[in-house]
């Protein structure tokens, strides 16, 4: 492959660069090479790194240190180092390659993921070797070809044989692992094990002569990937030991030293006969932290999973993972600061968009978070109704207020203050019928509407309780009809008096009274009477009807009907609360910051997937699934089936952790420390001594107590 050389015939073996895609930059390169812009030229010509200045490279320092396998150019680089090509057609190696001689004099370190030894610079007389990271020559890599399943084994054997012979001739075998490298190991050759994994690549370069075969941007074989999003595999320990039991040179049994830390494992091999030695690591190490250990913690935290459940799964298959202390340390130092930072950035972007509108319509509701009978946390959520996104969430600890009854008002107050500090005003808000919430919003002059579902739920409980009493069994069949009429009467009405009029007409409906004096109801909403059985209708003046009228015509109930919302409802908030259960189950106790971060993760997931479209079949038909909601008491309902959710927020969090937070966690941790953490529930009690608590209490059934109560016979 002699044609795989620089166009100036430089003898220094450096990184080769193809012509750039940008027309302006490519013309500058051609003018530098040919002293003019030719009409016809070979689009596959290459230029080595000797013809660029140091400021043209992005990773010159890493390349000199041996952490990078090839150099990368900045955008629109310009050839600057002069050559003798235009004068004599040849280049002087001393004048052309003087910059790259320094790059290859130092030994290259062993790549952590390639499972090979470091190879120092070989003499000029040594045979040409190929990188074990690719197991292919430059010419083979540059050619577009169809890979065969049997080639990679032969190439690996031929390469290792030639490399070992070269090393033996040089008598210079050394090995040293990378310390603190943040670069991904070289890509290994694919061992085709399955038929469906076979890949075919076609050569399209002849159709477009202006497009080079390999460019800096499209060089897939040498593209550097970040360590956190590279592919990982499960490897058995027995298979790893087979690689290090015998010496690859003299086949003698070697001394192997094994070391493990969580998911990280390293092997040190030493041959007692030929002194061959090498070190191997299963994953990159950044500083003193293996990347895989941090990845496990990040995957558990960002997906909302439980460490202990994941550990149980791994223990079942004898898969080694990190300890809980390491997981908590990663979460506290890197993961939680990243979650809070991303939530603040996303929330500020959303506020910036809504500041053009100034006034927003929101829905608010509190969710009690308790692991027992007492609510420990209360999370209040504000949702923007027009965009169906979570605007703000406030977590309230029970120690911050007089009791759990006051959590909802405090959470709502904090949310409204946060909106006000960002220049947003509330046009109206849809909430439940909490008395303290009503009073607070009335004092703040904020228009409040009530959610129909909460109203129906409260009224249905009273009617269900009444239907269980003796003589009121007829009400059981009418409760579902009453709930449906309440909903549709509110949805079809826009004013308060009209809502009350339609609501009170429900009593006429259950009496089968066809009185249409009110012009709002020119006819009945129900179907024609299909039976004249009086036992299925409420009789005028009966006790069941009197009790139903007393519940439905209550003064407070009629006042709330006027304020029922006909715009939107809080059903989306109920859906969001079901999403929270996936990230923060109520039967699991979390610390304050941990609970706050899991709420933020649930909000990120909902904001990304809240408006998913309905799934369709291949023929374009909408897909549904049949469900049996608990509220319908056995009645089936067709629920639209949505498309699969996306998890882009997890990818963004991973990138934030490994590229920003892990490099300098101090500013991110400082923001977390600014969050006020309330005192725990046990802080208000005096902590007793452990010995006093552990000491078993006395019992009258104990052995000593029985002896003391025995009656002793005088003659004994």
Q: What is the rounded CA–CA span in Å between residue 575 and residue 611? A: 12
Q: How confident is the model at residue 698 (pLDDT cuts 50, 70, 90)?
A: low
8 A C-beta contact, residue 583 and residue 602: yes
Question: Whole-angstrom distance between the N-terminal and C-terminal Cα of the chain?
Answer: 113
Domain presence at residue 495: yes
Domain presence at residue 491: yes
Q: How confident is the model at residue 69 (pLDDT cuts 50, 70, 90)?
A: confident
**Beta strands 255-261 and 285-286: pairing type?**
unpaired
Domain presence at residue 481: yes
Residues 227-280 pLDDT 10s: 778 888 999 999 998 999 999 999 999 999 989 999 999 999 999 999 999 999
8 A C-beta contact, residue 184 and residue 113: yes
What's residue 181's pLDDT? Answer: 36
Q: Which of 450, 513, 509, 451 is nearest to 485 (CA)?
A: 509
Q: What is the rounded CA–CA span in Å between residue 375 and residue 394? A: 15
Q: Which of 372, 385, 429 is nearest to 572 (CA)?
A: 385
Q: What is the DSSP letter of 355?
A: T
Strand 389-397's sheet: what is its strand order? 389-397, 377-384, 359-369, 425-431, 447-450
Number of domains, the chain: 1
List of residues 6+ apart from 670 with CB closer than 8 A: none
Domain presence at residue 183: no
Chain mean pLDDT for the chain: 75
Q: What is the DSSP letter of 172?
A: -
Domain presence at residue 525: yes
8 A C-beta contact, residue 608 and residue 649: yes
pLDDT surpasses 50 at 340: yes
Q: What is the rounded CA–CA span in Å between residue 18 and residue 211? A: 10
Which CA distances in Å does 154 have to 141, 367, 680? 16, 63, 65
Q: What is the rounded CA–CA span in Å between residue 594 and residue 340? A: 10
Task: Provide the domain limits for residue 490.
Answer: 453-562
Residues 492-513 pLDDT 10s: 666 777 777 777 777 776 666 5
> Three-state SS string across 579-622, please?
HHHHHCCCCCCCCHHHHHHHHHHHHHHHHHHCCCCECECCCCCE
Q: How confident is the model at residue 221 (pLDDT cuts 50, 70, 90)?
A: very low
Q: Which residue has the tokens 């929270």?
A: 580
Domain presence at residue 48: no
| Cβ-defined contacts of 287-293 (< 8 Å, 24+) | 287/180, 289/662, 290/261, 290/262, 290/263, 290/264, 291/227, 291/228, 291/658, 292/232, 292/262, 292/263, 292/264, 293/261, 293/262, 293/263, 293/264, 293/322, 293/326, 293/330
Q: How confident is the model at residue 490 (pLDDT cuts 50, 70, 90)?
A: low
List of residues 6+ apart from 706 with CB closer than 8 A: none
pLDDT surpasses 70 at 134: no
Question: What is the three-class DSSP state of 573?
Answer: helix
Q: Which of 165, 175, 109, 162 is nearest to 135 (CA)?
A: 162
Domain presence at residue 461: yes
List of residues 6+ apart from 382 with CB closer than 8 A: 362, 363, 364, 390, 391, 392, 393, 415, 419
Predicted structure pTM score: 0.64
Q: Which residue has the tokens 């249905």?
A: 460
Residues 561-605 pLDDT 10s: 888 887 788 888 989 999 999 999 988 889 999 999 999 999 999
More confident residue, 174 or 365: 365
Domain presence at residue 518: yes
8 A C-beta contact, residue 378 and residue 368: yes
List of residues 6+ apart from 536 with CB closer than 8 A: 474, 477
8 A C-beta contact, residue 489 and residue 499: yes
């Amino acid at each position: 492959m002699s044609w795989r050389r620089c166009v100036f015939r430089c003898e220094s073996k450096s990184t080769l660069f193809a012509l750039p895609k940008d027309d302006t930059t490519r013309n500058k390169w051609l003018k530098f090479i040919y002293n003019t812009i030719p009409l016809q030229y070979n689009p596959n010509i290459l230029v080595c790194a000797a013809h660029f200045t140091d400021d043209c490279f992005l990773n010159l320092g890493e390349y000199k240190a041996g952490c990078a396998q090839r150099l990368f150019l900045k955008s629109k680089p310009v050839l600057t180092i002069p050559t003798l090509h235009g004068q004599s057609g040849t280049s002087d190696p001393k004048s052309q390659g003087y910059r790259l001689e320094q790059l290859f004099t130092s030994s290259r370190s062993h790549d952590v993921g390639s499972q090979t030894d470091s190879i120092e610079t070989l003499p000029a007389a040594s045979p040409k070797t190929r990188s074990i990271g690719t197991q292919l020559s430059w010419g083979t890599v540059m050619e577009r070809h169809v890979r065969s399943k049997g080639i990679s084994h032969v190439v690996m054997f031929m390469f290792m044989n030639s490399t070992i012979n070269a090393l033996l001739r040089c008598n210079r075998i050394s090995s040293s692992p990378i310390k603190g490298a943040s670069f991904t190991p070289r890509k290994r050759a694919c061992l085709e094990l399955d038929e469906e994994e076979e890949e075919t690549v076609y050569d399209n370069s002849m159709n477009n002569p202006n497009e080079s075969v390999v460019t800096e941007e499209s060089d897939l074989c040498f593209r550097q990937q970040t360590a956190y999003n590279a592919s990982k595999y499960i490897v058995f320990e027995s298979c790893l030991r087979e690689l290090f039991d015998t010496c690859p040179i003299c086949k003698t049994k070697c001394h192997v030293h094994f070391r493990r830390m969580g998911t990280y494992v390293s092997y040190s091999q030493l041959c007692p006969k030929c002194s061959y030695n090498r070190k191997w690591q299963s994953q990159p190490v950044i500083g003193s932290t293996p990347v895989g250990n941090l990845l496990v913690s990040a995957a558990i935290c960002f997906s909302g999973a439980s460490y202990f459940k994941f550990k149980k799964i791994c223990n079942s298959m004898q898969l080694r993972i990190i300890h809980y202390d390491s997981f908590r340390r990663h979460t506290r130092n890197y993961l939680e600061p990243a979650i809070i930072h991303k939530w603040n950035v996303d929330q500020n972007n959303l506020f910036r968009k809504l500041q053009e509108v100034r006034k927003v319509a929101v829905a608010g509701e509190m969710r009690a978070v308790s692991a027992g009978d007492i609510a420990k946390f209360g999370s209040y959520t504000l949702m923007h109704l027009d965009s169906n996104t979570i605007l703000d969430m406030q977590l309230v600890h029970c120690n911050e207020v007089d009791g759990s009854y006051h959590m909802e008002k405090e959470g709502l107050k904090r949310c409204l203050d946060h909106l006000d500090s960002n220049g947003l005003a509330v046009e109206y808000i849809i909430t439940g019928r909490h008395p303290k919430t009503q009073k607070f919003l009335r004092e703040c002059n904020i228009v409040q509407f009530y959610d129909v579902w909460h109203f129906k739920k409260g009224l249905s409980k009273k009617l269900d309780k009444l239907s269980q009493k003796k003589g009121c069994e007829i009400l059981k069949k009418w409760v579902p009809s009453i709930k449906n009429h309440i909903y549709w009467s509110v949805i079809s009405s826009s004013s308060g008096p009209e809502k009350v009029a339609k609501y009170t007409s429900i009593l006429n409906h259950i009496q089968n009274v066809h009185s249409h004096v009110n012009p709002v109801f020119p006819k009945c909403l129900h179907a024609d009477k299909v039976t004249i059985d009086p036992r299925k209708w409420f009789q005028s003046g009966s006790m069941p009807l009197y009790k139903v009228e007393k519940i439905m015509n209550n003064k407070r109930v009629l006042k709330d009907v006027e304020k029922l919302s006909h715009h939107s409802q809080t059903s989306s908030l109920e859906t969001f609360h079901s999403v929270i259960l996936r990230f923060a189950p109520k039967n699991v106790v979390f610390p304050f910051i941990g609970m706050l971060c899991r709420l933020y993760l649930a909000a990120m997931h909902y904001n990304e997937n809240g408006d998913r479209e309905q799934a369709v079949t291949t023929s374009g038909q909408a897909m549904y699934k049949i469900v049996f909601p608990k509220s319908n008491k056995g009645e089936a309902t067709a629920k639209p089936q949505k498309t699969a959710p996306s998890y882009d927020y997890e990818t963004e969090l991973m990138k934030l952790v490994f590229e920003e937070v892990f490099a300098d966690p101090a500013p991110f941790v400082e923001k977390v420390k600014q969050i006020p953490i309330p005192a725990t529930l046990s802080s208000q009690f005096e902590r007793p001594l452990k010995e006093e608590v552990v000491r078993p209490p006395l019992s009258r059934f104990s052995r000593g107590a029985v002896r003391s109560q025995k009656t002793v016979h005088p003659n004994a």
